[in-house]
């Protein structure tokens, strides 16, 4: 079984540029999560979707960040314009919840983003 697939694995770009991170969740999973991890702030939830619909985007830092899930097998997280403080590892995770919580989240290997 393929796990959660994220691309690219690494991204280095100059501030002001648009950055698009991509995620393919595990087939059949109905929840998708985007996280950001830094040494200072740990693992922070940015936004999550249920059945392709955004449920909670209160963790999105500001309007420069946007996320979409056009179908059950693909999601993007976009930063425009990017700033050096956006540098972090961004994780996508998916889970299957048959009516009740407590299900494991399966994480991708992350995208290491560096904004110069």
Q: What residue ranges bind other proteins (CB under 8 A)? A: 4, 31, 35, 42-45, 48, 50, 55-56, 91, 93, 95, 97, 100-110
Angle at alpha carbon of residue 29, lines to 43 and 101, rounded to 5°:
65
Closer by beta carbon to other proteins, 17 or else 38: 38
Closer by beta carbon to other proteins, 83 or else 104: 104
Q: What's the min distance (Å) between Cβ of 104 and other proteins?
A: 4
Q: What's the min distance (Å) between Cβ of 87 and other proteins?
A: 16
Q: What's the min distance (Å) between Cβ of 70 and other proteins?
A: 21
Q: What letter does residue 47 receive in the DSSP assignment? A: E
Q: Residue 54 pairs with which residues in a beta bridge?
A: 49
Residue given tokens 């996320």 in the structure block: 67
Closer by beta carbon to other proteins, 35 or else 65: 35
Closer by beta carbon to other proteins, 108 or else 115: 108
- The DSSP result for 70-103, as a single string, is EETTEEEEEESS--GGG-EEEEEEEE--SSSS-P
Strand 42-50 relative to strand 19-24, pairing: unpaired
Q: What's the min distance (Å) between Cβ of 51 and other proteins?
A: 12
Q: Residue 48 pairs with which residues in a beta bridge?
A: 33, 56
């Amino acid at each position: 079984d393929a796990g959660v697939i994220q691309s690219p694995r690494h991204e280095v770009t100059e501030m002001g540029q648009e950055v698009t991170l991509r995620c393919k969740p595990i087939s059949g999973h109905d929840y998708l999560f985007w996280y950001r991890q830094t040494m200072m702030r740990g693992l922070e939830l940015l936004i999550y979707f249920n059945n392709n619909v955004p449920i909670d985007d209160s963790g999105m830092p500001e309007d420069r960040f946007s996320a979409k899930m056009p179908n059950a097998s693909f999601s993007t997280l976009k930063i425009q314009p990017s700033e050096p403080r956006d540098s972090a590892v961004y994780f996508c995770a998916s889970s299957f919840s048959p009516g009740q919580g407590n299900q494991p989240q399966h994480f991708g290997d992350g995208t290491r983003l560096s904004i110069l």
